[in-house]
Amino acid sequence: MTAIHAPITVHYRSTEVDGVDLFYREAGPADGPVVLLLHGFPTSSHMFRNLIPLLADRYRVIAPDYPGFGQSAAPDRASFSYGFGHFADLVDGLLGKLGAKSYAMYVMDYGAPVGYRLALKHPERVSGLIVQNGNAYEEGLGAFWDEIKAYWASGSAERRQVLADQVTLEAIKFQYTDGVRDVTRISPDNWVHDQALLDRPGNREIQLDLFYDYRTNVQLYPQIQAFFRDRRPPTLIVWGENDQIFAAAGAHAYLRDLPDAELHLLDTGHFALEDKLDEIAPLIHDFLDRKIAGR
């Protein structure tokens, strides 16, 4: 008879960190090496719903939602600072509460600046990097960023309003489908789920605040690149090469500072997990087994 393996149980939890209720998904053995999954815009830990069970056989997988995203609290922006540095501090606090003293990080989109700020705070804690369309180089910022850069330069209300188009259903669907060869592999639940959360009162302005704060991540690129050179963490890069948001040139740029990184360019777009999970998950598990499990 063929053995039937019990499905992995994923736990859905919340805890308070510095007065903010943070939601996170957790699965896998409590004593397993930690894999921290850091989501992008405009989604949440929901983007990892299919990956988590595939890693949690021997790894302790933790996937938080940032404030204003997913199931985490969304404090009023009048009294709460929405920025990537603050997000990194809160994730750091969450990991402290969970006793995670060492972790490999999967960084995607917004997850890259959150994770790399965490790495700058605690470089010794980073056991490895899995980079999926998570940028750390100017080369990755193509024409898509022109209007955002114009907003960074002026900070004007007019430039801010132009970017409001980026939090519409059409724009969110584009992020999931652009560059994908077979869109029937992409569940429409993705953009419906994300848009419902973006449409919460006050959330659009939160997202526009984060668009402006993103400029501070670019300012940190030299420090982040120095971290790569100095620490040489084992690194796997799995990148949707058709991504217009973070161009494939940004994937290649990592090799300047991490020449031993394993680079895989995939024929897909921004949210590569949605249609290339069958290719990405084995690459990640193999990487973790070789580079992380025995450390």
Q: What is the DSSP letter of 241?
A: T
Q: How far apart are CA 149 and CA 111, in angstroms?
A: 20
Active site residue 39: no
For the record, the structure tokens of 30 come out as: 């409590």
Map tokens 């024409």 to a residue. Answer: 143
Q: How far apart are CA 51 and CA 32, in angstroms?
A: 17
Give how far Cα 204 sits from Cα of 173, 197, 264, Å.
16, 10, 34
For the record, the structure tokens of 14 come out as: 């919340």
Identify residue 293 by its one-letter amino acid code: A
Exposure letters 186-217 (e unless 16+ CB within 10 A, then b): beeebbebbbebbeeeebbbbbbbbbbbbeeb
Q: Are 48 and 63 in contact (CB under 8 A)?
A: yes
Identify residue 1 by its one-letter amino acid code: M
- 39, 86, 193, 270: which is the annotated catalytic residue? 270
Q: Give the torsion sign (CA, 150, 152, 154, 156).
A: positive
Q: How far apart are the first and last CA of the chain?
A: 36
Query: Which H or E element spans position 62?
Result: strand 60-64
Active-site residues, by number, are: 270
